Structure 1
């Protein structure tokens, strides 16, 4: 293999770092949460919950600054130094497990994740066009889902057979590979610069429908990940492994559909792709809400995951295609913030539906809302989310 080809392959791998860093936020730590709670003492459960949630806050905050950071240092410098910060803060709980340092490192890791995600996407958009851009955006989401699923299983095995601290080595092990490849393979690309404050304001005005959609649609995977175990228990499925398999169907579905997103979008067009993703998601949520058995709920989870693997790459494609080059880094930075804002708002949104309709009824209500959104997308004649096509 020639050196040039090797660098191109390494560069393509680095572009997967954004979604991988997001998936890893919650995967290795999940099996370690009981150990963290026990180590923290009296307020252990609160500390464990904050450890799980604080990276999302860091990621939301990074969206306000990522565009300016990338404009200042370039995407190469931004992704390398954010990967350094991610590796250091991700692995530091191996040694620093007191509550305050632990929480601080989790917040900073979330901040680094936002910079990594935006830098990787800016590099991707600058390097690929047309159908190739859609394929690479799909591969980003697919790779993130796959790595997150494997990391969760590996972390569970580590916690089962060793000390829970060791699970945090996965952050350095996985993202350290991206860091080395970034140093060697990422070229210096300078986006067109614009004033940070003006750019952020223009980005919000330009793409607020996309940000709203990303925020609300993120409630779907958040609801599936956190509520399916309770729903299955209420329907008589108490086996923890069976519950885990059903929940994992969401990751499996998103990994599979995201891998072929580019081909689907090229064949069907943006409007039909987006509408189909919403319709599939509506059907999946309906099966979750009314399914009498774990098999039916699992099928609904798989369909919901397939929808996730289509509509999130689509929204990233919109954010990558719609703005002018000088606004692109700010638009992409705020996209990640909008998604994770949905994760923060999820308890209020799903909780309100659950109080009104019950746990099963909340999923059915979301299915109805997604069906309505599908009709709007199919019938609307114009809209910033509907007319964007990948160039080429």
Structure 2
């Protein structure tokens, strides 16, 4: 692959990677405002969280099918169709002001992200060999984190003006679509062959991806209500707290290739769950907004490694001929976890409050970390 093309390809894939984080956290700061605006709708506080999770369940259901499309049609056509649907569905909240119509737009966003994430994951596997892939995925983790900082901060500032303004951010992919069309090329197609043992081999990866996202989405679905309703913060505060965590996410993920050269996948997981537990404990004990910022360092560092490590582990296991289908199932696992997060945690929040939830999961995380550490030593 020529060096000049490689640079453009990397930039293109990094831009595409930011769409995954844009799909969710961009409108996080609007959630409390949406629940106030549509307060006449029963259970609106819970329903407003579906703005984040409706795309997730659509992605979870559609992504395996998207994987078959990517294997059959190639990587680029589904990618470009997905980007156009992403813009249309994601921006719907900007020009539609009926709550249920916006939820339909969020569902369309889910179809789009399924195509985008499945195609882009397969492309990364096609374009890069393992060592080069680890280096690229360090850059990808950095790009996702920086994108998260930009989108969550911008969304928070725009939400201050009106709850619908953050939805305008979804028009951004139209700006870099021409560059993608110019830079990316369709990889060589691989002959399909059945491999029943592969699905069993990948099952631990899929389960890990599910729980990683269940934990990650505690932040955008629970923190806004803790900050605004319990600690008396403003909508832009939500953006600043999560963006600070994303900054540490960026700093850590860019070191992934160096860390992976020294540690196994399981050892990296053990370290990240330890960091995550520490951060959750800080949140559970916070009595003011300042206390939340102490949690951003370990939580950001943990998620800076969790996502990159999961994707790298996955791609190390999958042969080229199965990347489309397997990438679809991985995407489904991630976003099924995203959808499930508020549903799984709602009974705990109802009984013990949001900070009680964070304390409980902190204890669970430290146990998981110790188990993984012992297993990695054995």
Q: Relative to 1, partners in 2 of residues 1:365 and 1:38: Cα closer, same or farther, differing over 3 Å?
A: closer
Partner of 2:169: 170
Partner SS for 2:209: helix
Gaps in structure 2 of 5+ consecutive residues: none
Q: TM-score, normalised by structure 1?
A: 0.82
Partner of 1:345: 340
Partner of 2:211: 216
Q: Does the CA-based 8 Å contact 1:18-1:118 persist in structure 2?
A: no
Shift of residue 323 of structure 1?
2.0
Q: Relative to 1, partners in 2 of residues 1:165 and 1:283: Cα closer, same or farther, differing over 3 Å?
A: closer
Matched, 1:129 2:124: no
Shift of residue 186 of structure 1?
0.6
Q: Relative to 1, partners in 2 of residues 1:70 and 1:346: Cα closer, same or farther, differing over 3 Å?
A: same
| Alpha-carbon distance in structure 1 between the residues aligned to 2:353 and 2:36 | 33
Partner of 1:379: 374
Q: Does the CA-based 8 Å contact 2:54-2:339 persist in structure 1?
A: no
Q: State how 1:1-392 maps to structure 2 within 5 Å.
A: 7-31=5-29, 42-43=40-41, 45=44, 48-98=48-98, 101-161=101-161, 166-173=165-172, 175-194=173-192, 204-231=199-226, 237-240=231-234, 242=237, 244-291=239-286, 294-354=289-349, 359-380=354-375
Q: TM-score, normalised by structure 2?
A: 0.85
- Tell which deviates more after alignment, 67-76 or 298-307: 298-307
Q: Relative to 1, partners in 2 of residues 1:245 and 1:65: Cα closer, same or farther, differing over 3 Å?
A: same
| Equivalences, count | 374
Q: Does the CA-based 8 Å contact 1:70-1:329 persist in structure 2?
A: yes
Shift of residue 313 of structure 1?
0.9
Shift of residue 32 of structure 1?
5.0
| Alpha-carbon distance in structure 2 between the residues aligned to 1:291 and 1:28 | 25
Partner SS for 2:182: helix
How big is each residue's C-alpha offset from its partner over 1:214-267, in whole Å with a ceiling of 9 and x where there is no partner? 212222222233333555578x74232555533433322222212221221123
| Alpha-carbon distance in structure 2 between the residues aligned to 1:78 and 1:156 | 31
| Alpha-carbon distance in structure 1 between the residues aligned to 2:224 and 2:92 | 31
Shift of residue 193 of structure 1?
4.2
Q: Relative to 1, partners in 2 of residues 1:327 and 1:270: Cα closer, same or farther, differing over 3 Å?
A: same
Partner SS for 1:326: helix
| Alpha-carbon distance in structure 2 between the residues aligned to 1:128 and 1:320 | 10
Q: Does the CA-based 8 Å contact 2:233-2:289 persist in structure 1?
A: no
